Amino acid sequence: MAVLPILQFEDKIAETVAENPVVVIIGETGSGKSTQLSQILHRRGYTRSGAIAVTQPRRVAAVTVARRVAFELGSRLGEEVGYAIRFEDRTSDKTCIKYLTDGCLLRESLSNPELNQYSVIILDEAHERSLNTDILLGLMKRLINRRSSNLKVLITSATLDGVKVSKFFSGCPVLNIPGTLFPVEKLYSTERPTNYVECCMKTALDVHVHEPPGDVLIFMTGQDDIDKMVFKLEERIQNLEEGSCMDAVVFPLHGSLPPELQIRVFSPAPPNCRRFIVATNIAETSLTVDGVVYVIDSGFVKQRQYNPSTGMYSLDIVQISRVQADQRAGRAGRTRPGKCYRLYPRTVYDEEFLDATIPEIQRSSLAGSVLYLKSISLSDIDILKFDFLDPPSRESLEDALRQLYLIDAIDENGEITEIGKAMAELPLEPSLSRTLIEANELGCLSQALTVTSMLSAEVAIRPTHSKIKEKKRKQSFSKLPDGSGWGDHIQLLQVYESWDRADYDPNWCTDNDLQVRSMMFSKDVRKQLSQIVQKIGKGPLDVESAMRLKKSDKDYKKLRRALCRGYGNQLAERMLLHNGYHTLGYRSQLVQVHPSSVLEADEDGQLPDYVVYHELINTSRPFMRNLCAVEISWVQPILKKLEKMNIDKLSGGSGASENNETIENETISSPKQAVDASAKVMAL
C-alpha cells in the first residue's frame, strides 16, 4: 500500500509542533490526519508527559479510527489506544492515545478545566464546524495562554479556511499537506431529477453495466433513503442477466449503523466484485472508504436547523455547499482517475450552492453550550462576547439564556445557580438534567432515570404494520385504569418496566417490535446515569428504589411533575375549541400533537389542557413530539417566572435587547390565558 501523504512530512510536522503551541494542518481527506498524526506525536515522545486527545465530531469516527490505530500499533483497543463517546468509555490507565467526541472533551474540561492529563490536543475534522468543536476552538485559545509550555494544540481539516483559523490563533503556522488526488471527471445532469432515489439508482446501474471495475460511492440524504436504495439496488442487480457484469455487493453507511456493520466498508471488495457504498455525508470527510472510483452525488444533505425565534427544529433536506460537492467528487480520485456523476446542472453548482456549509453554531439551540460556558470556572466570560470563530446570532444566545432561566439553571441576573451547576455535570440536554434533579427532590428519580435513558438511547417505539398488534401494544403500555394515556414519556417508562419484568429478555424486545440494540443501550445508559447521579448527588438519592409502579402513584404524578419542571420552557396549552395547542412562553405559536404520540383524549374527545413536549419539529406542520400531560398548578409557577424575566438582566446587562418590548407583552399574555383555562377546569 502506498505511504500515506502525511507520513512523508513527519519531520516537518514534528519540527513545527515542537516550535509552536498551536499548528493548523490542512490535508486532503485520506491523507492520514486522523490515523497518523497521533502516532507521529506518540513516536516523538509527546505521550511521556501526558496523553494525546484526538477529538471527532462524530461518534462513529471516534470508534472506527481508534480501532484502526490500535490495530496499526498492534495493541488491544482500550489499552494503549482507546476511545470515549457519550455513555461509552473504552480507555484504561494505559491509554495514551484517546479518540473522543468533541462533546466528551468539553465534559472532561468541567472536572479538569486545564485538561492537564493531555500533552497534546488534536481537534480533528475542524472543517465540519460542529457546535462543540467551535466551542473547543474558543477554549483552546484560552487554555494555550495558560499552558503554553506544556500543551500542544493541533487543528486539522480537509477544507478549512486555514488563514482564518490561523488569525484566530494569533497567526499560528498552517501546514498544507499536498494531496495526491488523481483527476476526477465531473459529469453534470442537464436538470434536477424529480425522483432523486430513482435517478441515483439508474446511474449506479449504468456505471455497473458500462464502466470498468472500481467501487461506487453514492451520497444520499438519510437512513430511510439509504435503506430504500440498498434494497432496490440489490434487487435490480440480481435481476441483471447472469454473466453480463461482475458481481456486486451493496453496503449502507450512516451514523446510526451498528458498529459491526460500519466496519464492513473498510474491508476491500472480494476479487471480481464491485462494492456500492450508499452513504450520508459521513463519507465526505469523516470516514475514508478506499477503492472508490465512481461517485454519485445527489447534491443534497439532511440538515437539522434550529430557529431561535420559534424554538423549533426542522430536519430539512438542503442543497450541499460547493465545498461539500468538491469533497464528494474528491472521493473518486484517491487511487486512480475517477468520475463523479453530479445529479444537478453545472449552473446549480455555480449559482445556487453556498460557498461553504453554515456552521452548526449558527443553526442549533445553544442552551446546553451556554450552560456549559457558564459552569466552567471562567468567571470573566461574558457569554455574549465569548471568542467564537464565527459568533452565533445574539437572538440564539438570548434564546438560550431564557431557556436556562425558565428551568432554574441561571438566576434573573444570568448567574449560574446550584441547580445549573448540578445540571451541567450530567451528560444530558438541559431539560432532561433538570428533570432528574427535580425527580430526586420529589422521590421519583428511578423512574425519571428510566425515561431519560430511553430518550437518550433514542429508543423508537416503531409503528407496527399490523394494526391489531399496535392496538394491543398501546393498551398494554399506555392505557391506564382511568382510560387516559399520560403520554409518550410514560409509555417509554412502561415499556422499560415491562422489559424489566421480562428479565431483560431480548426476545421480548423482538416480540414487541423494539430494537434489541437500543433497548440494551438504554439499560446501559441508565446504569451509567445512575452512577453519575450518585457521584454528584448532594442530598439523599432514590436511584435504587424499586422501579415498578407504586400503588400510590398510579397516575405518575411525581414523574409528570418533574418532567413539567424540566421542560419548563417547552409547555403548551390546548386551544379552547379543538385539540390544537399553542406553546406557552416568550414565544407563542400554534402546534399539533405529532401523530406518533400515544397521548390520549378523554371520553369527551379532549386532549389534556396542558402538556410538555420533548421537541418541536417542523415537518408538514409544526408538531410537538414526545409529550406528557401536566397540571395547571405545576405550570403556574413557571408562568410567574416568565412574567419576571428580563433579558437585559439575564444577559448580564450587556446591551439592550431590541425586541424586549414584544417579549414582555407575550409573557404577560400567557399567564392570563392559563388562569382563564384553570377557571374553566374548576367550573366544570
Minimal distance in Å, beta carbon 351 to ligand CDP? Answer: 30
CA dihedral 121, 125, 126, 127 (to 10 degrees): 170
Amino acid at 484: S
Write the CA distances from 40 to 3, 10, 36, 439, 568, integer angstroms.
14, 7, 6, 48, 49
Which residues are within 8 A (CB) of 360 and not within 5 positions of it... i.e. 6 or more apart?
Answer: 129, 130, 131, 134
Nearer to ligand CDP, 30 or 585 (CB): 30
Nearer to ligand CDP, 325 or 343 (CB): 325
Return the C-alpha cell found at 610. Answer: 396542558
Minimal distance in Å, beta carbon 53 to ligand CDP? Answer: 16
Minimal distance in Å, beta carbon 521 to ligand CDP? Answer: 22
Q: Nearest-CA neighbor of 157 among 297, 302, 286?
A: 286
Q: Nearest-CA neighbor of 612 among 638, 577, 576?
A: 638
Minimal distance in Å, beta carbon 99 to ligand CDP? Answer: 10
The rounded distance, in Å, linking the Cα atoms of 228 and 242 is 24
Nearer to ligand CDP, 33 or 90 (CB): 33
Write the CA distances from 66 to 38, 63, 89, integer angstroms.
10, 5, 12
Nearer to ligand CDP, 63 or 459 (CB): 63
CB 625 within 8 A of CB 596: yes
Nearer to ligand CDP, 277 or 514 (CB): 277
The rounded distance, in Å, linking the Cα atoms of 341 and 123 is 32
Minimal distance in Å, beta carbon 27 to ligand CDP? Answer: 5
Q: Nearest-CA neighbor of 585 among 562, 613, 561?
A: 613
Minimal distance in Å, beta carbon 46 to ligand CDP? Answer: 18
CA atoms within 13 A of residue 99's CA, in its CB half-sphere: 30
Binding site for ligand CDP (CB under 6 A): 4, 27, 29-36, 64-65, 68, 266, 288, 290
Minimal distance in Å, beta carbon 263 to ligand CDP? Answer: 7
The rounded distance, in Å, linking the Cα atoms of 605 and 542 is 37
Minimal distance in Å, beta carbon 126 to ligand CDP? Answer: 11
Minimal distance in Å, beta carbon 326 to ligand CDP? Answer: 15
CA dihedral 83, 88, 91, 97 (to 10 degrees): 10
**What 8-state DSSP symbol labels residue 416?**
B
Nearer to ligand CDP, 178 or 653 (CB): 178
CA atoms within 13 A of residue 567's CA, in its CB half-sphere: 28
Nearer to ligand CDP, 30 or 311 (CB): 30
